[in-house]
Structure 1
Amino acid sequence: MDLTQLEIFCAIAEQGSVTAAAEKLHRVPSNISTRLKQLEEELGCALFRREKLRLHITDSGRTFLAYSRRILALSEEAKQSVSGQRPDGVFTLGAIESTAAVRLPPLIARYHQRWPQVGLDLSTGPSGDMIDGVLAGRYSAAFVDGPPKHPQLEGIPVFAEDLVLIGALNHPPVYDASGISGSTIYAFRANCSYRRLFENWFARTHAVPGKIFEMESYHGILACVSAGAGLALIPASMLESMPGRDSVNAWPLSEGMGQIAIWLVWRKGTRSANLQAMKALLTED
């Protein structure tokens, strides 16, 4: 097994076919097929299930894909560490939606101005997805609410964030969760850390939310709340940046539960030049 085989395997998994992987890697399809067959024979298992012109990754393939991405990421990191390279190549970042929308634009602009040779690849999603992406090697680092709890992660706090409860303008003030027990809630998917915090806030006073509608964007959430359809939890910085901020009332969570820190996290031991450059920018006065 060598790194080229792992690169080919990852390309097939991402592209879904030998032909597409060959185009991405600038190789002939027959070479891609041969290297994949050799890898499967060496591992003693099928990494893909063949169906017509598509390849569908198997359970064994998904497990091996996570390891392959980590190995390739570590290989690139090792090359940078011993060569003394300046930041270069592609820097894959993950971030929760609100941080990407409000906090990162000026930071990414500064990073690009200082290191224009680096290609920044930013993906957004719930905190759980971002952490999984770092652990699987899809992202070099990610901005999530912290501190990191996984033993293979480390990081630094970078932004202070306040989460506020929002309701329609005619909604009475909210002082604690017991006053809105049973109310309709708008939130992201279950792996969103803000949603978990919101549910824990209810639980502390033995209150329970009513129907939870899962949304895909803060703008959609704001529109529903401003129409009087329910309540939601949203970062204050995100609310302040939105055109419809004056269409809702906002209240802090009781007991200071809405005060959190956003962390930049990475796999423990990572020392890539791209990551070091980002950390340097974040710690500048």
Structure 2
Amino acid sequence: MNHTTLQMFKIVAEEQSVTKAAQRLGRVQSNITTRIQQLEEDLGVTLFVRDSKKMILSPEGESFLSYTKKILSLAEEARQALHPGKPAGVLNMGSMEATAVSRLMPVFQQFHRRYPDVELALTTQPTQQLLEQVRHASLDCALVSLLPDAGGHIQCPEDLEYLDVFTERLVLLVPETASSTKPLLAAFPRGCSYRARAEALLNAQTLVEVQDVSSYHSMIASVAAGRCSGVLPEGVAATLILPEGTQQQFVANALTQLVWRKGYRSTALEAMKQILASASNL
């Protein structure tokens, strides 16, 4: 088991295909297939469930992928610590879906122009899931929305550091004709900070049920059906075609922060902090 084999395993897991992984890595398929088979023999487990079209991670493969990301991240951190200077290597970054949709395109474009030797790998998840991935070194950093306590102070895990980057106006999309039955809130799965804020607001009025959605387009479809309200940043709402007659009600102002492990340093991370600071609307 070496760095190259782990990198191959990670790419195959991401692409779900040896063919696509070979194209991405610039290697022949047979070499990657052999490396994966040797890795499975060394570990004594089956990492992938293979069918005619895809290679899907087995439960053991899912577990090993988590450790692989940590190992590769720590190896990159060590490399950059020994060779400080021009940012290079891979920056594994997470983001909330809303931030990726409304904020990251110009940020990534500027970053790539200025630091072409850094490969950006982006994962989108709700805030709580991103925090766990950063804490366990599956991600180097992530854009999240940390919830404030009753006194308005940001609550951040003690083993993480953060930088305030953006502020967003959260709005509730309310259908033109509300259903006579108990209303639902369409929101991303539990762990989403925007959902938590909307639930707190609505539960202060009446207990609300939540319908999980996986994208903003499915949220809008739920609102269009007339029974669900949806919560999202005003900037994201502006990019979507809303159902006719939809009302927007202010929920709260929410900060977006970049978080990283306490003590973690890399030239790529420092470069991303600088780019985000220049793009900040604070």
Question: TM-score normalised by the shorter chain: which range applies?
Answer: 0.7 to 0.9
Distance in 1 between the 2:48 and 2:172 partners?
Answer: 47
1:185 alignment counterpart:
185
Q: The residue matched to 2:223 in structure 1 has which SS?
A: helix
Give yes or no for the alignment of 1:162 onto 2:161: no
What CA deviation, in whole Å up to 9, does each residue of 1:252-285 have, x standing for no partner?
23xxxx2221111123322121110011123348
Distance in 2 between the 1:51 and 1:97 partners?
Answer: 30
Flag the structure with larger Rg. Answer: 1
What CA deviation, in whole Å up to 9, does each residue of 1:217-263 have, x standing for no partner?
3244335435633312121222234343874222223xxxx222111
Give yes or no for the alignment of 1:234 onto 2:232: yes
Distance in 1 between the 2:2 and 2:192 partners?
Answer: 37
Distance in 2 between the 1:119 and 1:55 partners?
Answer: 24
Q: The residue matched to 2:263 in structure 1 has which SS?
A: coil
2:250 alignment counterpart:
252
Distance in 1 between the 2:138 and 2:267 partners?
Answer: 17
Q: Confirm or deny: 8 A CA contact 2:94 2:124 kept in the other structure.
A: yes
Q: The residue matched to 1:85 in structure 2 has which SS?
A: coil
Deviates more, 1:215-224 or 1:184-193: 215-224
2:275 to 265, 281, 285: 281
Give yes or no for the alignment of 1:99 onto 2:99: yes
Taking a change above 3 Å as real, the CA distance of residues 97 and 16 of structure 1, as seen in their structure-2 partners, is closer
Q: Confirm or deny: 8 A CA contact 1:181 1:208 kept in the other structure.
A: no
Taking a change above 3 Å as real, the CA distance of residues 227 and 88 of structure 1, as seen in their structure-2 partners, is same
Taking a change above 3 Å as real, the CA distance of residues 66 and 221 of structure 1, as seen in their structure-2 partners, is closer
Q: Given residue 231 of structure 1, which amino acid in structure 2 is its aligned partner?
A: S
Distance in 2 between the 1:150 and 1:77 partners?
Answer: 21
Paired residue total: 269
1:202 alignment counterpart:
202
Residue identity over aligned pairs, in percent, reads 30
Please identify which structure carries the higher helix content: 1
The CA RMSD over aligned residues, in Å, is: 3.6
Deviates more, 1:188-197 or 1:14-23: 14-23
Taking a change above 3 Å as real, the CA distance of residues 230 and 68 of structure 1, as seen in their structure-2 partners, is closer
Matches within 5 A, 1:60-99: 60-99=60-99
Q: The residue matched to 1:280 in structure 2 has which SS?
A: helix
1:26 alignment counterpart:
27
Q: Given residue 164 of structure 1, which amino acid in structure 2 is its aligned partner?
A: V
Q: The residue matched to 1:283 in structure 2 has which SS?
A: helix
Give yes or no for the alignment of 1:271 onto 2:261: no
**Structure 2 residue runs without a partner (length 5+):** 147-153
Taking a change above 3 Å as real, the CA distance of residues 252 and 160 of structure 1, as seen in their structure-2 partners, is same
Q: Confirm or deny: 8 A CA contact 2:160 2:260 kept in the other structure.
A: yes
Q: Confirm or deny: 8 A CA contact 2:40 2:47 kept in the other structure.
A: no
Taking a change above 3 Å as real, the CA distance of residues 38 and 122 of structure 1, as seen in their structure-2 partners, is closer
Q: The residue matched to 1:182 in structure 2 has which SS?
A: coil
How much does 1:192 deviate?
A: 2.5
How much does 1:101 deviate?
A: 1.8
2:223 alignment counterpart:
225
Q: Given residue 238 of structure 2, which amino acid in structure 1 is its aligned partner?
A: E
How much does 1:102 deviate?
A: 1.7
Distance in 2 between the 1:105 and 1:141 partners?
Answer: 17
Distance in 1 between the 2:226 and 2:49 partners?
Answer: 51
Deviates more, 1:193-202 or 1:274-283: 193-202
Distance in 2 between the 1:56 and 1:220 partners?
Answer: 26
Q: The residue matched to 2:103 in structure 1 has which SS?
A: helix
**Structure 1 residue runs without a partner (length 5+):** 172-179
How much does 1:151 deviate?
A: 4.5
1:122 alignment counterpart:
122
Q: Given residue 272 of structure 1, which amino acid in structure 2 is its aligned partner?
A: S
How much does 1:199 deviate?
A: 2.4
Distance in 2 between the 1:35 and 1:97 partners?
Answer: 32
2:149 alignment counterpart:
none
Q: Given residue 74 of structure 2, which amino acid in structure 1 is its aligned partner?
A: L
